[in-house]
Structure 1
């Protein structure tokens, strides 16, 4: 058992910003954001998404960082410390559980991205190839996706077991700049393709004529998902902040970097998709089916395909380590486990829990959740994104706004604050705007799933 009085901290301010940004930057930015934008009309979706980031994402990010730094504890411990002898610790437990569930299927999709590092070479060098057939063949085989899922979890566990500074901070300071460099290279290649202007117009010139309720729902949900809010990761990372570290400015840096990378991902994808005559509304298959076809027709397509899927894998890894850190920190803080034992044990359990989502396209392809009619991976994802994440964010906002007290949070958040300080604007958002919008998201999402057309 380790010394419970010892708790690691980020060695530098940039260490926290890169780690928290790495948590936020992941498949949500590089995989989910482009296909959501493509499905919901391009630039209009982007504008609504940016508004949602400001009204929901940023205040909730500050909220969760405050809870972490104030208590220096994992999500369960944070609520226990601020509301002892009450059931509010269950909100923290929901965060730990949500991170657990998300990583169980997140690692499956991340495994696909690892596999595509070499598959894109095969597809780009083949004379004729059906890219949809390649993707379906991969996910419907039994052992191949399991092996790649296992490889990805081994990488994630190895980084978490090494610790906050030597593991998480060390690797995010390498991986996050790598993401930015790779994105810049891909953007330059995409926007210089003949015919790229049509893709840029689709992505940057809003047309609100086709905007409907689902556009708002998709944009707000994406803003919530991409920042890793409601899953315990930001509370956990905030718990490693020191008293001298400011919160509003650091949170703004995290939100800005995450949003910037999502926008850059769109700039890397849509000009290339339009330039080569493909449809932007490819859904979840945009990255794994449409883009390999794009790379196959692009000059130096093998190189840029390799770079893209390396980028996707790195982004997935930076998010996965934050998700595993949530449950690892819970075992360390609440149960007194050593970091190595906690990381390995939870990594194995999460891998096993995620197996049904891997097998949901092969031996469990006929299994669906009653009432949803979805495959296993989509079922895990629906519960996480439509129920667990918004519920966690809603209850956390209510807790800070009304139970612990928004004024207490403002006082904590303004310690050593720089250019940005918290005031009535933040209290208004966290007490009224955020809970109302999140509640609307949940109701609309559940209604759309069961009663929508």
Structure 2
């Protein structure tokens, strides 16, 4: 039944939307360079193990809270236990702030699609630096990206988000497979393949585990209210246990395919695998430029990245829009327009902080000062998301109670992993997420000298 809140019209549509929320720049950009920096196959092995422990457990937990309460992230926690809405509020705030600067990066991706087709930007580092520091052009792309996100979300759950995701996700997989085939067939690609799939167990250190732990958490969109919100649109007979396996599995598949698309090409053409954040916008364009038919594959790759960015942005937008509909009693249209406008305005500051406003710095509790873009990233990624995930796990384990959550899950599932999940959500996940918080705030470094 489609109402002001909306609902999924099919299980496939929900799965594609949920996978789309998880698949984003973290898979196609961050995972390959983290693998490059942290021992290749060693990082991949640790990552897969943590997806099973952390990803499945928290994803099922968040969907369960949402479906049980049938409300936005704030309302779901508050309905289950009065006074605990702030946990969902942390996720809503995180999603709101993330999309404010994420859409700026989405705009950069759109610019690179245009540049790939037109062949502009010979020196990639100069081209990228000049573009992001421009006062006007990035804002135009930022506005277009926010506009596309708003158009999809304003059409509702089944008519907008679900319909878009049914196209975006299959198209993303096809484009990614084409890119992988091109990359692994380059002369010299085998060195990169071996690096990516061969684990060197001596490389598995606490630092690698923490890096993989953080990547699992952020890649799966945990702690930002998305899965609580999407779960609230589920029917009671939905098998959430199965969904909580499928979504992280497909998300991880995209991340691993991205590694096969990028690292063999990087090795084949003599670049370094651990180039860090510049890998996507500086190194990869240079890689594509140096391969046969590179302009075509470069354009395809950035179309692929655009699909991933857009599928994530619509889920981030829906978290805040659902709050506007359920808590503030706005219509979907009003909620989308107001939140899109606010995010765009904040994004202006994030974009200008790369150029004309680069001297404007905001002090933070870690003793450092950041530009607007970096400030939004640090506050959300390092503090709000892990905090939201930690409190969510503790909420089920010690406030709502594991037996109540299990009862909700069993409405539509046999729940064969009940005993394991109960232990993980109550004890193991809080410890793992607490380690992320310690790491990202720098306390782990002080304690263990990482």
TM-score (normalizing by structure 2): 0.95
What corresponds to 1:82 in structure 2?
80
CA offsets, 1:91-150, max 9 Å, x none? 111111010011111111111111100222444x77xx2111111111111111111111
What corresponds to 2:424 in structure 1?
429
What corresponds to 1:119 in structure 2?
115
Q: Would the aligned equivalents of 2:5 and 2:325 in 1 still touch at CA under 8 Å? A: no
What corresponds to 1:445 in structure 2?
440
| Structure 1 position 103 matched with structure 2 position 99 | yes
1-structure distance, mates of 2:372, 2:338? 24
What corresponds to 2:199 in structure 1?
206
Residues 337-348 of structure 1 aligned to structure 2 (within 5 Å): 337-348=330-341
What corresponds to 1:408 in structure 2?
404
Residues 89-168 of structure 1 aligned to structure 2 (within 5 Å): 89-123=85-119, 129-168=122-161
Residues 414 and 157 (structure 1), Cα distance of their counterparts in 2 relative to 1, 3 Å cut:
same
Tell me the CA shift for residue 6 of structure 1. 5.3
1-structure distance, mates of 2:34, 2:118? 27
Question: 1:376 pairs with 369, 372, 375, which one?
Answer: 372
Q: Would the aligned equivalents of 2:72 and 2:229 in 1 still touch at CA under 8 Å? A: yes
Q: Would the aligned equivalents of 2:4 and 2:331 in 1 still touch at CA under 8 Å? A: no
| Structure 1 position 260 matched with structure 2 position 282 | no
Question: 2:10 pairs with 2, 12, 30, which one?
Answer: 12
Question: 1:35 pairs with 29, 33, 36, which one?
Answer: 33
CA offsets, 1:138-177, max 9 Å, x none? 1111111111111100000000000100000111000100
Q: Would the aligned equivalents of 2:73 and 2:92 in 1 still touch at CA under 8 Å? A: yes
What corresponds to 2:24 in structure 1?
26
Equivalent residue pairs, number: 445
Tell me the CA shift for residue 348 of structure 1. 0.8
What is the DSSP-based 3-state SS (H/G/I as helix, E as strand, rest coil) of the residue aligned with 2:427?
helix
What is the DSSP-based 3-state SS (H/G/I as helix, E as strand, rest coil) of the residue aligned with 2:441?
helix
CA offsets, 1:365-417, max 9 Å, x none? 12333222443322211111111001000001001111101011011112221
Name segments (4+ residues, structure 1) moved above 4 Å. Answer: 3-6, 448-453
2-structure distance, mates of 1:20, 1:107? 19
1-structure distance, mates of 2:115, 2:324? 38
2-structure distance, mates of 1:438, 1:429? 12
Question: What is the aligned-residue RMSD (CA, Å)?
Answer: 1.8
| Structure 1 position 237 matched with structure 2 position 251 | no
1-structure distance, mates of 2:215, 2:301? 21
Uncovered stretches (5+) of structure 2, i.e. residues with no partner: none
Tell me the CA shift for residue 51 of structure 1. 1.4
Which piece of structure 1 moves more, 367-376 or 242-251?
367-376
